[in-house]
Chains A and B, each alone.
Chain A
Amino acid sequence: VIHRIDALLFDGHSARARRVTLRIDGIELVAEGEHTWRWPLDQVRWPERTRHGQRVLVLDGGERLQCADVRAFDDWAAAQGRRDGLVVRLQRSWRATALALVATVAVLAAVYQWGVPLAARAVLAFVPASVDQAVGQRALDSLPEGWLMPSRVGAERQAKLRQAFADALARAHPPAQGTLPAWRLEFRAADKALGPNALALPGGTIIVTDAMMDLLADRPDALLGVLGHEWGHVRHRHGMQGLARATAVGAMASLVVGDFSSLLAAAPALLAQMSYSRDFEREADAEAVRLLRAAGQSPAAMVEFFKRLRGIAGSRRVPIALASHPDSEERLRYFEDAARP
């Protein structure tokens, strides 16, 4: 058993190092060198053990006792009955760190799956609708110039669809069940890149492209389904939820690797946005089915829509918004199942 170890004493005032020998005497720590110093043990702050670096004891009075012989110090401290704290014991064991690694991945996955959506919903409850509108306006402003032009669809046809949509909404959500979020239906001739498309902006604006109106000219029921899908985004504030979730994931990522690179920390937020949007699409599709049924139409209308969309897209990837969404096979099946009596 080691009773004494060598150390350097710094008195906290001068940079001079003094060579001393340390020992414990009852309830006192004693340093013996050119003088003898004594401190009550409860004024001694012990260092946490690490494999690299030295051991430094800090006294409440500002003195330091520095020991470069780590192994001797640890033996001496152990002989005094010093035990590592829980965290230090975990840190020093490879098995515990492997477990911690697995647990960390599991926790991150759980937070990503459930925690972030829950937190986003909770936060959004406090965000007024005016913010949604500002965000929607900003998204609209950020589109390249010339992407959205005045529609060529006749006013009469526009009014008819608007009415049909309002009727279906009223039937799907009876007024007794509370007020619905505000919505506005707009028609636009869009750039070719958008193709047959419909967008829901935060704040309740739904934009339908002329190409979409052409694609479904003979199927007003499918148009209603498309509107129902976009309405789902409006009703669940998906745009805002996406923002809130991306913010949360970004914050989490910067917690993990933030000070390595902000660019690398931004990547998970981007990936998250893509994968969360899949959940949003599912919710929106459910809303489309609900609206179609309320209007007395079959969800099969959406099956027809998907087939036509695929027809014009050919083998190349389907356009943005409604169909950029992955798993269009899965969604097709969802509507087919819903169409069965």
Chain B
Amino acid sequence: MMDRLGNSGEGSRTLPIRFVGSGSEYFRIWIVNLLLTLLTVGLYYPFAKVRRLRYFHGCTEVDGHPLEFHGKPWAMLRGYALVAQLALVYGFAQRSSPLAAGIALLILMAIGPALWHSSLRFRLANTAWRGIRLRFAGTLGGAYAAVGPAYLLALGFMLLAWTAGTGATRGKEPPLLLSLTPLLIVLATPWLLWRAKRYQHVHYEYASERSSFSARVPQVYGVFLRTVLLSMALGAVVAVVVGLGAPGLFALGGLGELGKPKPGTVIVYSLLIVLAALLFQVLLRSYFTARLQDLVWGHTASRRLRFASRLRARSLAGVTARNWLLMVLTLGLFYPFAAVATARLRLQAVSIDADADIDDLVARRSGGPAEAAGDAAADVLGVDIGL
């Protein structure tokens, strides 16, 4: 039962998520704010970012009520300056020498979890729905614990690369356990991803609700396994098409002197191969993204709210392929339309089952101010909450 205010009565019901933004409107927001960012040598960036987030939050309506974003650009500016410097130094170090790149990577690894943690805190604390702010309750220590095993493996790998480099000159083999790290990394990746997702998804809070995460490790392995199987199947198809297609194409294009294919035919053929490779990647990525989103959000629930996600890999692949094509054809101008299309598809695939009277939910307490540096890092490092 629901009255016209969206205040529900007894029983459970589904809260739909709708994304009402439009590409053409976001295009205008994007281009104006991009220009201002360029004219101010990047100083305007946090303001542009706030406007973008406000638009995307405001256009995300859960049960008819928009999300709100409350980040303060001035508070974010300092964080951005810090992270921009870090990123530039890192980008330069990466290209200069292996030692500098190694040191930069170690520093980044050391502060990475802290930035991740503060990014989540910042994002959630500045997002509100029905007047109540969300909260991220994860601790700093928890962030380090979540990535701990991944770091151990990464360090093992670096050590291996190093001993292989120095050992090769002396003809020595690295120790067996160390040689196994690449294999271990491959085998452990789904588990490591699960740890990261679990850290995020057991710490979301809204009012008195605290999320829990019930996806099991084998399910994440299942997603990876099915993606690998799909890639093998697609690979086989591509191989057959390329194998059969090549002689046909050359026959059509004609052969030049001495039986060599004409240059034009070769160019067309290589273009087709590049396209096939891109399409291959789009299909695989879309499949993986969709299955992971469904798994992760479908197993996120609190006492009275349950998330569900039904994202079709085929739709995501279609939208992604179209985005790519138009992005390239318009030299990037399609970007805002692409961002809106992807957001709409991924957000509208999610719904929330609410058990009880949502009106009973009462904010616990207001969280302290969250540090904006983490949010800047999320931009640069590409970590986000996955929606």
Contact = CB atoms under 8 A, between A and B. Distances in A.
Contacts of A170: none
Contacts of A103: 35
Interface in A18-67: 18-19, 47-48, 50-54, 56, 58, 62-64, 66
B32 A90 contact: yes
Interface in B318-337: 323-324, 327-328, 332-333, 335
Contacts of B333: 101
Interface of A: 8, 10-19, 47-48, 50-54, 56, 58, 62-64, 66, 68, 87, 90-92, 94, 96-97, 100-101, 103-104, 107-108, 111, 131, 134-135, 137-138, 243-244, 246-247, 250-251, 255-262, 264
Nearest to B95: A243
A258 B42 CA distance: 14
Contacts of A14: 131-132, 359-363
Contact of B131 (A11, A111, A260): A11
28 contacts: A13-B131, A14-B131, A15-B131, A15-B361, A19-B5, A50-B58, A52-B25, A53-B66, A64-B131, A91-B28, A91-B29, A91-B33, A96-B32, A97-B31, A101-B31, A103-B35, A108-B38, A131-B97, A135-B95, A138-B96, A251-B88, A257-B335, A258-B379, A260-B335, A261-B324, A261-B327, A262-B382, A264-B328
A50 B55 contact: yes
A197 B207 CA distance: 70
Contact of A97 (B28, B327, B358): B28
A47 B98 CA distance: 50
The listed residue with most A CB atoms (<10 A of its CB), out of B35, B59, B87, B100, is B35
Nearest to A53: B58
Contacts of B359: 14-17
Interface of B: 5-7, 20-22, 25, 27-29, 31-39, 42, 45, 51, 54-55, 58-59, 61, 64-66, 68, 70, 87-88, 91-92, 95-100, 128, 130-132, 207, 323-324, 327-328, 332-333, 335, 338-339, 358-363, 366, 379, 382
B59 A52 contact: yes
A104 B361 CA distance: 46
Given A62-B131, A64-B130, A103-B35, 19 more contacts: A10-B131, A12-B131, A13-B131, A17-B7, A19-B5, A53-B58, A53-B59, A64-B68, A68-B64, A91-B33, A96-B32, A97-B32, A101-B31, A107-B35, A137-B97, A138-B97, A138-B98, A243-B95, A260-B335
